[in-house]
Amino acid sequence: MAIPRTQHSDPANPAISNLQPAAELAEDDRDHPLFETRKKVYPKRVSGKFRNLKWVALIVLLLIYWVVPWLRWDRGPSAPDQAVLIDMDLGRAYFFFIEIWPQEVYYITGLLILAAVGLFLATSLFGRIWCGYGCPQTVWTDLFMLVERYIQGDRNARMKLDKSPWGFEKIWKLGTTHLAWLVISAATGGAFVLYFHDAATVVRDVFTGNASVGVYSTIAFLTGSTYLLAGWAREQVCTYMCPWPRFQSAMLDEESMIVTYEGWRGETRGPIKRKNLARGEVPETGHCIDCYACFNVCPTGVDIRDGLQLECIGCGLCIDACNEMMDKVGFPRDLVRFDSIQNTRLREHGQATRTRIIRPRTIFYSFLVVLVSAVMAFGLFNRETLEVNVLRDRNPLFVPLSNGDVRNGYTLKILNKEQAEKTFILTATGVDVRDFQVIGLTPNQNGDFELDVAPDRVGSFRVFVAADPAVLQDEATPMDFTVTDKVTGATKTYDTVFAGPKK
């Protein structure tokens, strides 16, 4: 689409400039600023089925957030007993019975894929329920609005208060609101660090001034971001900052359950008086009484009667609001309803509605969810608790010894992922070894080196192997290191090479 060119600056005639009277320009052709000034939203209190669901989601999610760091899970003396903990210093993440090391961060990738596909699945089934019920932005904004409503009153009172001149009441009410928001924000930021440290210890450290700069700055940052995002930015986060609303329409089809307005039955809208009906009488068409109840309760300030739109977070509060009004005027409920666009059309034509959960799209998303979950579960239950890494010295590749042998140096790392101290026996095969030493250790009576590795730790050992260059195949002769658990007999082999002089 071509951008209409309306202003012509004629250098030969400076009188024609952009200061032309606007009246000469078509309405659509005027220069509008690209950014719209925010229209403050004053959501009205509402009650009903969806509001109750939203309360339940709010309480459950906030409880999870604030309670989970306090749950304990016994892992023995060598690991922390916090059920959910990401220990950045040590590089361990604990989640109940699961423990992962930094190199197993691919589980996080799996989780993120699951989260994304799960979101796609939920959206194709039920529209933006994540946005409306689960997203932290929604949950905290809802909580902040609750506080705001409690202190300043409902929609009309808040609008009035905002318009009123500064005085004791306004300062007092706005001040307490912001103070309460800041307290909630601080509790939010404070709870976040509990997931990264022992909860009780870090709480004590924070209040006694002994916590690290990292802890304090994390709390400060999250306090600030919570206060700004849930207190001030609110629906603008969803509309302007979040990428998800921008492509969520790709997940939806005409059979997805979304918050819809049944225009066929609502229009022509108009005040109830004009419908000229006796109370309780149901008009043929035009059930919408244009009361704006749906608009007034909307947390993002949209009019659902304009249809599905970017700003709508699918929370369904407008359904509750509309039903309340419909009950009052005695019209059938669900003029705004949670249903598919297809069903709206079917109802319009008087046909039976049908809700199809199983569709190619949902089958595909479910398949992906099952597949990724299965891969992750397989990976998790077959997780290796013993790993060996060998780093061969490269400077120099080998050391000539006085008896004519050559010696190679290796750094052997044994990853003991069990919560028990382990002893491993180290053997080298593939090369006729003439001398074998592990720095700091002496061989046992069988001539084997016993390597002790602490529970849940990496053991690092310097290993030297010497061989006669005459028996080496080549510059690089394949060689294996094998570690054997002294108790269980479990083994792990690492293929490496033994370097020698050019033949």
Partner 1 sequence: MSTHVEKDAVTGTDTTGHEWDGIRELNTPLPSWWVYVFWACIVWSVGYWVVYPSWPSATDYLKGTFGTTNRTQLHETLNNVAAERAPYMERLAALDLHEVANDAELLNFSMAGGKAVFADNCAPCHGTGGVGNPGYPSLLDDDWLWGGTLDDISQTLHAGVRWTENPDTRFNEMPAFGRDELLSRDEIGDVVQYVLAFSGRETDATAARRGAEVFEFNCASCHGEDGKGIQELGGPNLTDGIWLYGGDVATITETVTNSRGGVMPAWEGRLDEETIKMLAVYVHSLGGGQ
End-to-end CA distance of the chain: 73
Q: How far is residue 106's CA from residue 376's CA, in Å, rounded to a whole number? A: 9
Alpha carbon distances (Å) from 299 to 145, 158, 294, 319: 9, 14, 10, 13
- Shortest CA distance to 105 belongs to which of 366, 379, 411? 379
Nearer residue to partner 1 within complex by CB, 366 or 423: 423
Least distance from C-beta 462 to partner 1, angstroms? Answer: 6
Least distance from C-beta 7 to partner 1, angstroms? Answer: 8
Q: Cα Rg for the chain, rounded, in angstroms?
A: 34
For 137, list phi and psi in degrees, rounded to 5: -60, -45
Least distance from C-beta 390 to partner 1, angstroms? Answer: 16
Q: How far is residue 95's CA from residue 79's CA, in Å, rounded to a whole number? A: 12
Q: How far is residue 161's CA from residue 152's CA, in Å, rounded to a whole number? A: 8
- Shortest CA distance to 129 belongs to which of 230, 267, 259? 259
Nearer residue to partner 1 within complex by CB, 14 or 77: 14
Least distance from C-beta 457 to partner 1, angstroms? Answer: 12
Q: How far is residue 56's CA from residue 446's CA, in Å, rounded to a whole number? A: 66
Least distance from C-beta 435 to partner 1, angstroms? Answer: 9
- Shortest CA distance to 40 belongs to which of 176, 161, 179, 221? 161
Least distance from C-beta 168 to partner 1, angstroms? Answer: 24
Cis preceding linkage at 396, omega within 30: yes
Least distance from C-beta 13 to partner 1, angstroms? Answer: 10
Nearer residue to partner 1 within complex by CB, 360 or 440: 440
Nearer residue to partner 1 within complex by CB, 19 or 213: 19
Least distance from C-beta 16 to partner 1, angstroms? Answer: 10
Tokens of 312: 């709508």
Look-up of token digits 């989640």: 95
Alpha carbon distances (Å) from 332 to 226, 316, 492: 41, 17, 71
Q: What is the 3-state secondary structure (H, E, C) of 415-466?
A: EECCCCCEEEEEEEECCCEEEEEECCCCCCCCCCEEEEECCCEEEEEEEEEE
3-class secondary structure, 197: coil
Nearer residue to partner 1 within complex by CB, 118 or 455: 455
Beta bridge pairs of residue 477: 498
Least distance from C-beta 243 to partner 1, angstroms? Answer: 26
Least distance from C-beta 369 to partner 1, angstroms? Answer: 46
Nearer residue to partner 1 within complex by CB, 7 or 268: 7
Nearer residue to partner 1 within complex by CB, 25 or 242: 25
3-class secondary structure, 338: strand
3-class secondary structure, 351: coil
Tokens of 425: 């026996």
- The H or E element spanning position 491 is strand 491-499
Nearer residue to partner 1 within complex by CB, 79 or 453: 453
Nearer residue to partner 1 within complex by CB, 411 or 488: 411
Tokens of 230: 């849930």
Nearer residue to partner 1 within complex by CB, 210 or 285: 210
Nearer residue to partner 1 within complex by CB, 332 or 400: 400
- Shortest CA distance to 316 belongs to which of 153, 136, 131? 131
Least distance from C-beta 414 to partner 1, angstroms? Answer: 14
3-class secondary structure, 233: helix
Least distance from C-beta 452 to partner 1, angstroms? Answer: 8
Nearer residue to partner 1 within complex by CB, 21 or 360: 21
| Residues that bind partner 1 in the complex, under the rule CB under 8 A | 7, 11, 14, 17-22, 25, 30-31, 33, 393, 395-396, 399-404, 407, 409, 437, 439-440, 460, 462, 464
